[in-house]
Amino acid sequence: MTKGMHDIETIRKQFPLLHEKINGKSLVYFDNAATTQKPQRVLDALNQYYTHDNANIHRAAHSLAARATEYFEATRKTVQQFIHAAEVEEVIFTKGVTESINLVAQTYGRSVLKPGDEVLITGMEHHSNIVPWQMICEEKGAILRVIPVNDAGELLLDSIDTLLTIKTKILSCVWVSNALGTINPVKKLIEYAHTVGAVVLLDGAQACAHLEVDVQDLDCDFLAMSSHKLYGPTGVGVLYGKRALLDAMPPYQGGGEMIQEVTFAKTTYNELPYKFEAGTPNIADVIAFGKAIEFVNETGKETLSKIESGLMEHCSKGFDSINEKYPGTSPIVRIGTAHKKISVQSFILPAMHPFDVGMMLDARGIAVRTGHHCTQPLMRHFGLEGTIRASFAAYNTEQEIDVFIQALENIVRHSNK
């Protein structure tokens, strides 16, 4: 066994769900961009918490509560280190990227935007990084502008100086496209945005599982993360923000935990990070999220990345081999061919609706996503209603990709009859 294969096996063994049968077929799970499977340590942490450690956290009067608080806050520290934030108070726990972005739009956005101001996003955004900005722009009379995308699914930055101007107060940009896998040149964009006085929010939903994250090096003002894209449970995410910005922002939701003192005359707010964490949080899942990060750290992002690149290459060879059998036509058309990508491949079979392809693949136990991937404007840019998207993680194997390619070959053969 080569070292590469040994790594995949070691990783794969930790994920119980991968060994399930779906409709009597072995599961080939290629929908990792939608959500990842969870390693045993994450599952154990969830069970462990409710069996041995459950208590409400903060202001702990008894030992059980003190312990739960300790574990919860330990995850905050783990996240801080994972993203290289300067201070642990800059890590706010939310429900996920969608809530993180809504939080910034509704607090920072609301306090800063004036009529005629501009918010800049890109043509490849997920709806969670479009709609919150549409909503706040409408409320404040601000204008939403969009960086266009080219045919390869890369940002067109030729006219960036007409889009990112002194009128731009916020640039909110996806780091890695969920539909196309494109890695955007965010460091450059952040630098440029800062020269015109705009703050930058990065949608890091896909990026955090695949790329090194150093918020200080990037100098982004905000970063949104979701646990469930990173081998952690759903319902938990992070908003990172520079302390100065978070301190100046009004609170998002009101309630317990986020207050200092409450009277009917006036209420004062708690300090960071609690100012933005109203109510009892998703304690068990935050703790389990910490274990997911531990898994990534132990395995090593470089190892994960290398395996994923290998899988992408194997898939690409498979696509080419199908296309070669039908010279003159292109039964498999890749959508999203950026120079820099993560292990996500959208494609279409021009002869067939993505829905039909998805169902046929499902019949062989292969899980992919079909449709607009919550990026309707992007799909429209390509003149499509949707695509079929295969997204690989480091627990997928070349054999699984072979099964996938065989299934596609069969579908192509049938549609060519």
Partner 1 sequence: MESRLFYLMDLGKKLPVMNDIHKTDEFLIKGCQSKVWVYPSFVRGKLQFEADSNTEITKGLVYLLWSVWNNRTPEEINATDLYFIEKIGMQNMIGSQRSNGFANMIRQMRQYAAVYAQAPKRA
Kindly list the catalytic residues: 374
Nearer to partner 1, 326 or 355 (CB): 355
Which of 34, 278, 352, 384 binds partner 1 (CB under 8 A)? It is: 352
Q: Which residues of 7-37 are buried (b: 16+ CB within 10 A; e: fewer)?
A: bbeebbebbeebeeeeeeebbbbbbbbbbbb
359 scored as a contact of partner 1 (CB under 8 A): yes
374 scored as a contact of partner 1 (CB under 8 A): no
23 scored as a contact of partner 1 (CB under 8 A): yes
A 10 A CB-CB count for 331 gives 21
Nearer to partner 1, 286 or 349 (CB): 349
Q: How far is the CB of 355 from partner 1 (least distance, A)?
A: 4
β-sheet bridge partners, residue 334? 347
Which of 356, 398, 402, 409 binds partner 1 (CB under 8 A)? It is: 356
380 scored as a contact of partner 1 (CB under 8 A): no
340 scored as a contact of partner 1 (CB under 8 A): no
Nearer to partner 1, 38 or 364 (CB): 364
Which of 44, 70, 197, 355 binds partner 1 (CB under 8 A)? It is: 355
Residue 416, judged by CB atoms within 10 A of its CB (0-12, 13-18, 19+), counts as exposed
Q: Are 352 and 193 in contact (CB under 8 A)?
A: no
Determine the interface stretch with partner 1 among 226-234, 312-320, 355-363, 391-399 (rule: CB under 8 A). Answer: 355-363
Q: How far is the CB of 386 from partner 1 (least distance, A)?
A: 11
81 scored as a contact of partner 1 (CB under 8 A): no
Cα dihedral value 89, 90, 96, 100, nearest 10: 120
**Radius of gyration, alpha carbons of the chain:** 22
Question: What CA–CA distance (Å, rounded) separates 354 from 15?
Answer: 29
Structure token pair of residue 107: 């607090």
372 scored as a contact of partner 1 (CB under 8 A): no
What sign does the CA torsion over 72, 77, 82, 87 have? positive
Nearer to partner 1, 219 or 362 (CB): 362
What sign does the CA torsion over 150, 220, 216, 213 have? negative
**Contacting residues toward partner 1, per CB under 8 A:** 23, 352-353, 355-356, 359-360, 363-364, 410, 414
